[in-house]
């Protein structure tokens, strides 16, 4: 979700506002043009996120193995044929983006994100989604996109997108598996963003109860990666830190 929140393609183009940024872009383009794989490896901020359930690329060796999956010919041509003055834009703290956000670099030239998805990745992602669907309890197999799987000390939680921004919450006791019938299922959930830092939560309502699953992108040093909070009316009756098992 960080991949989608911080580097959303739906940002108005403003082009480069500083000559130094142009030099940074030119250096990046030349790295790709001259096929300097070793230099590119040193410029990537790992992990390099891929759209779930594609696994993130965690380190240089893995990037070497998956380079062609990410940097396919269409993306390479967009980079190589791009005009630094027209096709690249700096967008505040987010960094510098190519076109409408297909690729992002930081102001020091580091590669932050690749939102472009190659044909190979699209096919592989479809296969992974179908494999994921088949491991679920039959009552949960109808969904459009898997979002994430969380684990607290007591619960295993899964969130799926049913389409049209309709999110579904399913939970089990932590010692169960997703092949078991879930104890609780709530649909018609909402995704709510919290400012511009990337933090967000999914909110689900069932009668007087509200279930909130938060994803912490920017927090304190001791902040958990995620959390579950349950309220009844206006009273919080449960809160638990959560680990993100998959996203």
Pairwise CA distance, residues 110 & 201, whole Å: 28
Q: What is the pLDDT along the chain (247 residues), one digit of tens a residue?
A: 344 444 444 444 568 888 889 999 999 999 999 988 888 888 999 999 999 999 999 999 999 999 999 999 999 999 999 999 999 999 988 899 999 999 999 999 999 999 999 999 999 999 999 999 999 999 999 999 999 999 999 999 999 999 999 999 999 999 999 999 999 999 999 999 987 678 999 999 999 999 999 999 888 888 899 999 999 999 999 999 999 998 7
Other beta carbons less than 10 A from residue 229's beta carbon: 16
Other beta carbons less than 10 A from residue 208's beta carbon: 10
Q: Give the three-class secondary structure for 30.
A: helix
H or E element: which one contains 149? Answer: strand 145-151
Pairing of strands 111-114, 184-193: unpaired
| Residue in 55, 1, 7 with CA at minimum distance from that of residue 215 | 1
Pairwise CA distance, residues 101 & 10, whole Å: 8
Whether the model clears a pTM of 0.85, i.e. scores above it, the answer is no
At 151, give phi and psi (nearest 5°).
-135, 120
């Amino acid at each position: 979700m960080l991949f989608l929140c911080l580097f959303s393609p739906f940002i108005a183009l403003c082009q480069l506002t500083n000559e130094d940024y142009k030099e940074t872009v030119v250096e990046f383009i030349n790295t790709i043009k001259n096929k300097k794989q070793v230099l590119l490896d040193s410029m990537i901020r790992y992990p390099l996120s891929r759209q779930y359930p594609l696994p993130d690329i965690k380190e240089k060796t893995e990037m070497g193995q998956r380079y062609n999956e990410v940097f396919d010919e269409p993306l390479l041509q967009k980079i190589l044929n791009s005009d630094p003055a027209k096709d690249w834009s700096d967008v505040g703290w987010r960094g510098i983006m190519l076109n409408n956000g297909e690729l992002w670099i930081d102001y020091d030239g580091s590669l932050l994100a690749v939102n472009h998805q190659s044909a190979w990745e699209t096919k592989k992602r479809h296969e992974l989604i179908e494999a994921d669907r088949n491991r679920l309890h039959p009552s949960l197999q109808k969904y459009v996109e898997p979002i994430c799987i969380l684990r607290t000390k007591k619960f295993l939680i899964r969130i799926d997108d049913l389409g049209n921004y309709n999110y579904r919450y399913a939970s089990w006791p932590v010692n169960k598996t997703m092949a078991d019938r879930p104890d609780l299922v709530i649909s018609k959930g909402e995704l709510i963003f919290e400012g511009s830092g990337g933090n967000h939560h999914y909110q689900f309502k069932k009668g007087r109860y509200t279930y909130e699953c938060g994803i912490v992108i920017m927090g304190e040093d001791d902040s958990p990666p995620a959390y579950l909070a349950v309220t009844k009316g206006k009273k919080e009756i449960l809160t638990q830190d959560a680990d993100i098992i998959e996203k």
